[in-house]
């Protein structure tokens, strides 16, 4: 039986912009090896698998090579896919169960929202190679790591808004 999947550009207002993620809905009967193979075939940063979980949904994320514990843009892409299929109505809210804990998500006025899980506070860290160049930053205030993220503090909101990350450069 065919398995539909969707390529969704998260954080975009038009096609071919934003941060793409593959979304596969309701493949509860597929093995982890199958999910990993599909993610490798799709060759996106992440492929999200939305699964049925009682009266709600669970979500898992796979890169082309491994399963990860959390992916924000693929979660937002999944909310969009659910919304487009009428499974999350306008102003709809659900909470995905995930390896990172509960992830509340919702749609409101055409926008999608997510509450990230609370994590252990970030600790100061060395600046990873390619980070500043990949972000297009000449300077920064502080760099730290949490269990999920590398955090960069910049000098102002204007600096933050002006960033144009080179995601390919960041991935190398």
Name the residues annotated as catalytic: 46
Q: Which residue has the tokens 């499974």?
A: 87
Q: Classify each residue of 1-13 as buried b or exposed e, where b means 16 or more C-beta atoms within 10 Å of its C-beta.
A: eeeebbebbbeee
In degrees and rounded to multiples of 5, residue 127 shows phi and psi of: -75, 120
Q: In whole angstroms, what separates CA 171 from the centre of its chain?
A: 15
Which distant-in-sequence residues (6+ apart) come within 8 Å of 161 by Cβ? none
């Amino acid at each position: 039986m065919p398995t539909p999947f969707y390529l969704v550009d998260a954080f975009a207002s038009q096609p071919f912009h934003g941060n793409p993620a593959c979304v596969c809905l309701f493949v509860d009967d597929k093995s982890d090896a199958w999910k990993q193979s599909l993610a490798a075939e799709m060759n996106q940063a992440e492929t999200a698998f939305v699964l049925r979980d009682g009266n709600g949904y669970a979500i898992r994320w796979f890169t082309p090579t491994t399963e990860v514990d959390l992916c924000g843009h693929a979660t937002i892409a999944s909310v969009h896919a659910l919304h487009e299929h009428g499974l999350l109505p306008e102003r709809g809210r659900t909470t995905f169960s995930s390896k990172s804990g509960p992830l509340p998500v919702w749609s409101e006025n055409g926008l999608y929202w997510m509450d990230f899980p609370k994590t252990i506070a970030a600790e100061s860290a060395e600046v990873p190679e390619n980070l500043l160049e990949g972000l297009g930053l000449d300077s920064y205030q502080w760099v730290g790591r949490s269990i999920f993220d590398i955090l960069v503090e910049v000098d102002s909101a204007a600096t933050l808004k002006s960033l144009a990350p080179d995601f390919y450069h960041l991935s190398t």
